[in-house]
Amino acid sequence: MVRLTIDLINKTSNNFKNRRNCSFSQYLKKLTHLNFSNKNIDDIDDLSMCRNLTVFYLYDNQITHICNLDFASNLTHLYLQNNNITHIENLSSLERLSKLFLGGNSITVVEGLEQLRELKELHIESQRLPLGEKLIFDPRSVLALSGSLNVLNINNNNIDELQDLVGLNKVTHFYAADNQLQNMEELEAVFSQWPQLHRMDLRGNPVCHKPKYRDRLITMCRKLEDLDGKEINELSRQFLINWKASKDAKKKAWNETNIAGEITYPFSSDFHLGPQHHLVQSHAGFLGRRKPLDFGRPSMKIRSDPMWTDFRGVRVKIPASTRQDTEMQKSSKIQSQNAL
């Protein structure tokens, strides 16, 4: 393994060898770019003489800890991708850092970025995570980055939700391909808070197979110019916006009609009865409506046929022949009484 030291810089610095009228210490003080990528570096020594360093390339090495960078207060670009880093640490002195590349490491928590209030780009894709785990975000770091971050790359990190990132409302380029995002409503809620979003890639997520996935995101993100590698035509966007507005208007009108119906027929609506149902009329009195006088009264028929009761007390009709005999007997009895 190799430790990055001043001596190593001296041995490998071709630019310094070409400067005959300059001491090595002066050269280090003026040095702005330093490239030690793919050199089997596993540790960083004291490089405080390089105080004007602005761009530092350390990708494709074996670095396990971020350390000894306190001197680099002027650093704007730091490339640490494809190392063995497990924690984001010791970056608080890099207050001018605008681009941070940490992809291809073993980081499980995005943290330690509270002092990087000028950070514009954060690339933390494809972390080597333990089986079943996902990349998570410290709310303090998210809050610190909310006022500056424009580019966020979290591709391939087993992420299944974005709610923790809703405060990053300055994001213009968002890359979250090959994750586990599947809740369309949650995406719409988050992206509705990102008004500056211009480019987004969500390919390889389950949500991409949801109905109207692309249409819904285009109508939600009004400034989106590219989605999943496909350019968005402004004419198509306007068509989708108009279509959504028409759909929402119809839905609103339908809801208002239903509400009006419930107010008109409050009792029948509870039982899913139509306005013509006979039970609706039974409630009319409660609504101040007059109901027919004969409503609800049983019909009464006057029986003209004579009835008699047998020895069991059962009422039966009197047969016609019996009625005639009875009438004749009554008539004879009346005549007899008159004769007396």
In this prediction, residue 24 has a pLDDT band, given cuts at 50, 70 and 90, of confident
Q: At what angle do helices 213-220 and 184-191 cross, to 10 degrees?
A: 20
Partners of residue 315 on adjacent β-strands: 309
Q: How confident is the model at residue 320 (pLDDT cuts 50, 70, 90)?
A: low
The tens digit of pLDDT for each residue in 66-92 reads 999 999 999 999 999 999 999 999 999
User: Above 70 in pLDDT, residue 333?
Assistant: no
Q: Give me the pLDDT at residue 119, please.
A: 98
Round to whole Å and give the CA distance between 124 and 137: 11
pTM over 0.85: no
Q: Compute CA 226 distance to the chain's CA centroid, rounded to the nearest angstrom.
A: 20
Predicted confidence at residue 10, as pLDDT, reads 87
Backbone φ, ψ for residue 266 (5° rounding): -65, -35
Tell me the pLDDT tens digit for each residue of 267-310. Answer: 554 445 455 555 444 444 444 455 555 555 555 555 555 555 55
Residue 241, judged by CB atoms within 10 A of its CB (0-12, 13-18, 19+), counts as: middle
pLDDT tens for 232-270 read: 887 777 766 676 666 666 667 677 777 766 666 555 544
pLDDT value, residue 220: 87
Measured distance CA(102)–CA(80) in Å, rounded: 5
Full set of structural domains in the chain with CATH: 2-234 (3.80.10.10), 235-275+282-287 (no CATH)
Rounded CA separation 322/340 (Å): 27
DSSP characters over 33-68 = EEE-TTS-EEEE---TT-TT--EEE--SS---S--S
pLDDT in tens, 189-241: 999 999 999 999 999 999 999 999 999 999 888 899 999 999 988 777 776 66
* Top-confidence residue, 4 or 287: 4
Given the DSSP bridges, would you call strands 109-110 and 136-137 parallel, antiparallel or unpaired? parallel
Q: DSSP readout, 82-127? A: SS---S--S-TT-TT--EEE-TTS---EE-S-TT-TT--EEE--S-
Question: Using CA atoms in the order 92, 96, 100, 105, what is the torsion angle rounded to 10 degrees?
Answer: -20
Instruction: Output the pLDDT for position 284.
Output: 44
pLDDT in tens, 139-183: 999 999 999 999 999 999 999 999 999 999 999 999 999 999 999
Confidence tier at 328 by pLDDT (50, 70, 90): low
The dihedral through the CA atoms of 266, 268, 272, 277 has a sign that is negative
